[in-house]
Amino acid sequence: MKSTPDNAPPAPDLSGLSAAEMMAVIGDLQQQLASKEQAIRQRDTRIDLLEELLRLKTLQKFAASSEKHQNQITLFDEAEVEAEIDALREALPDDAEPDPDETPRTSGKRRERGFSDTLARRRVELTLSDEEKAGASKTFFTKVKEELEFIPAQLSVLEYWQEKAVFEHDDGEESLVAAPRPVHPLGKCIATTALLAYIITSKYADGLPLYRLENMLARLGHSVSRTSMAHWIIRLDAVFSPLINLMREAQNTSDYLQADETRMQVLKEDGKVAQSDKWIWVTRGGPPGRPTVLFAYDPSRAGSVPVRLLDDFSGILQADGYSGYGQVCRDNAITRIGCWDHARRKFVEASKAAPPKKKGKGKRQSAKADVALGAIQELYAIERRIKDLGDDERYRIRQAESLPRLQALKTWLEDNAGKVVKGSLTRKAMDYTLNQWDTLVGYCERGDLQISNALAENAIRPFALGRKAWLFADTTQGARASASCYSLIETAKANGLDPSAYIHHVLTHIGEADTVEKLEALLPWNTGLEPAPKKS
């Protein structure tokens, strides 16, 4: 006889039940069993979602940050994924397929030999001794090698001696005339404009925090405290402000801008705790040949911020799906287009976070994310192929090739979204893409538009990298000064100028820029500075 646990309920006596009563009991038990099975399925689904989220967080914390899939070469080797991608391709009209004869052949990057002609050269002669060349009919030199030499930085002191002349007048009075002194942008300051440019470039272009610069300068012979350097940068914000305003005016006269925003920690912000999020906003664009990249600090991420920054802009704004841009688009009748990088990134996360396929266990769970990625990669492949063409030709190819692929992808997403578990990364990626669809296809409406917000994201990347080094800003004034410095540096880069040379040029002349015309002469496209050497 089987033993039962002490706390187990006694078994019901069913011996006296009629057939109808027995069927009712069985039906009730079946209902209870179905309810428990549903609860178990819900529990298993929640466990799967939590495990997926855990894998994603682990990858974000410990894995490489690149969006390239860890198995990208073999990503579409699975038969079921290939089949779905082929189905998407078959849905395209025949004239949407690119002509293989028009596809340029790609070749590996050619290795550059020798050094740039812009580098200074010093001749080193390797000579024979008098004994070795005695009796020779002639001697000559041949260049046998070139070496790249590094000349360490150094600090020096500029002593300004001002010449003064004394004039004696007939009435016995004397007058004094002194040679004019150069105008320093900060007035009384022990740092030359060259040193200020070095500090700004080192921190905001190279990501060096001020405490490292303090140590580096000390090794060169004179200690400059980080407090002094921070104070100089904050004071320069007011000096740069008129020039930044001119750049903002020039930018807003264009008809196409990109925008993005990222977090920044500011310790001393009125009404906010140090740990709360504050924001750096970036806008990129401008008239043809005059691009500007402008950063602005604001403790808020509200829609009022882009309303302020884009006050007199009317055109096309490209941004991610953040709703904060909605107000300015409505108020200024701005056409908004989306960013495929953001949509693709969500599918990349879903694919990376999916559990690995187990032998004999059927499809890999991320197959649908991989199918979407395959379709999106075809859109990017078209953009790579047409990037050097004119605007009219890019528009024609997008209409002929990209739009049919987009429509096929949308149809596939609509057919498959309901088959994916709600709350999963793949479902979130599919829902995001469908919700943003009207803006995501906007880049096909003109040939000069971009498929993604990458130019703005690339401009904001140096800020994100620098933030890892200096971590936070102490005050609101410091955050705004940092935004001004980043604006000048990234705008210089966008115009092909060396940031250090441009910052030095601005600092040297802005102290005397007392008219709008003199300020306009300091805009990157008006300086006449030589373009920065291209990376080999």
Residue 482 near residue 204, CB atoms below 8 Å: yes
Rounded CA-CA distance 47/120 in Å is: 64
DSSP 309-372: HTTT--SEEE--S-GGGHHHHHHTT-EEE--HHHHHHHHHHHHHHSPPPPTTS-S-TTHHHHHH
DSSP code at position 474: E
pLDDT of residue 7: 64
Instruction: Tell me the torsion sign for CA atoms 508, 512, 514, 520.
Output: negative
168 backbone dihedrals φ, ψ, rounded to 5°: -100, 135
Mind listing the pLDDT tens digit of every residue in the chain (536 residues)? 455 556 666 666 666 677 777 787 788 878 888 888 888 877 777 777 776 677 777 766 666 655 555 444 344 444 455 555 566 666 666 655 555 444 444 445 555 567 888 888 999 999 999 999 898 999 999 999 998 888 888 899 999 999 999 998 888 888 999 999 889 999 989 999 999 999 999 999 888 889 999 999 999 989 899 999 999 999 999 999 999 999 999 999 999 999 988 877 777 777 677 767 788 899 999 998 899 999 999 888 888 888 999 988 989 999 888 888 888 898 888 999 999 998 999 998 888 877 766 555 545 545 888 899 999 999 999 999 999 999 999 999 999 999 999 999 999 999 998 888 888 888 999 999 999 999 999 999 999 999 998 888 887 777 777 666 655 677 888 889 999 999 999 999 999 999 999 999 999 999 999 999 999 999 999 999 988 877 65
Our CA dihedral for 388, 463, 258, 263, rounded to 10 degrees, sits at 150
Residue 242 near residue 301, CB atoms below 8 Å: no
Rounded CA-CA distance 89/404 in Å is: 10
CA distances from 380 to 67, 127, 166, 384, 511 (A): 14, 58, 74, 6, 47
Residue 524 in 3-state DSSP? Answer: helix
- Against a cut of 0.85, is the pTM above it? no
pLDDT of residue 321: 81
Rounded CA-CA distance 115/43 in Å is: 64
Which residues does residue 175 pair with via DSSP β-bridges, in sequence order? Answer: 167
pLDDT of residue 479: 87
pLDDT of residue 523: 96
pLDDT of residue 76: 42
DSSP 14-49: -TT--HHHHHHHHHHHHHHHHHHHHHHHHHHHHHHH
Rounded CA-CA distance 219/522 in Å is: 34
Which residues does residue 177 pair with via DSSP β-bridges, in sequence order? Answer: 165
pLDDT of residue 100: 47
The two three-digit tokens of residue 276, written as one number:
């709360």
- Length of the chain (residues): 536
